[in-house]
Amino acid sequence: MIKEETRFTSSTVFEGMTSIRALLDNLKNNVENARKIEKILFDKGKIKTKEKDFNYLTKMAELFKYEISTVDKAEIDKITVGASHGGIVAICGERQYEKISKENIIKDGFYVMIEGIEDPYNFGYALRSIYASGADGIILSERNWLSAAGVVCRSSAGASERLSIFIENDDFIKLFKECGYKVVCADIKNSVSVYEADLKKPILLIVGGEKRGISSSILKEADQIVRIDYGRRFDAALSAASASTILAFEVYKNNR
């Protein structure tokens, strides 16, 4: 079993059918830069109870040229983080992420930049909500949790592989503004309530981690700063995943 202190290291082991279905959907849809599946390990003790999954993965193995092996549960436990893999894991290749550019910014879209999340699970939970809200893409800094791809995919329920993800460059905010986007940052100083803000598309929403928040160099480029009002006095910040959920769905509500 991967120990607690090493669970956030680089990982391209994808656990469970939800994660693996996301990988296969990308391959079936010819998604650019889709991650290649190299091998699937299936717990031999679960073949009868998960016969439908086993038959599906075997069929897809013929199509996408990956190996499928039946193994003891102990072999799967050695390479996984938790116990929720359900006896099915995929060992995959790396996924390539493009730098954001004018060519890959869509017209009248909704993008989210996440900055400074310090936990891959929190990162995955944020991506799950952002994907569900209908965002068109994610912008990330060079330092992010995509190296722990398997953990992030599991916590995001596959959303991390389904989302269009781009890496920032030095003038990414300028690029979005040149494409007609409003840049909205989540912070407290000089802010308006998110429930009263104009969040019409095209919009780039920027959310920071609960400890460090958004860097000052990005905040000064914001067209608007929004805050999440609480229902009672509470001095602690919401988790980045919780804040992302509220903010992303407010954008969705503004654009229904």
pLDDT in tens, 80-101: 876 678 899 999 999 989 999 9
| 59-72 mean pLDDT | 96
Boundary-marking domain end, from 58, 77, 92: 92
Would you state the pLDDT for residue 1? 39
Q: Which residue has the higher pLDDT, 162 or 211?
A: 162
Q: Both 118 and 218 in a single domain?
A: yes
Determine contact, residues 31/170, Cβ cutoff 8 Å. no
Q: Both 189 and 225 in a single domain?
A: yes
246, 248, 249, 253: CA torsion to nearest 10: 130
Q: Both 45 and 157 in a single domain?
A: no
Q: Both 117 and 225 in a single domain?
A: yes
Determine contact, residues 194/181, Cβ cutoff 8 Å. no
What's the mean per-residue pLDDT of the chain?
91
| Residue 43: domain span | 4-92
Give the CATH number for residue 197.
Answer: 3.40.1280.10
Cis peptide before 120 (omega within 30 of 0): no
pLDDT tens-digit map of 123-172? 999 999 999 999 999 999 877 777 888 989 999 999 999 999 999 998 99
User: How far is 165 from 100, CA to CA, in rounded Å?
Assistant: 9
Q: What is the pTM of this model?
A: 0.90
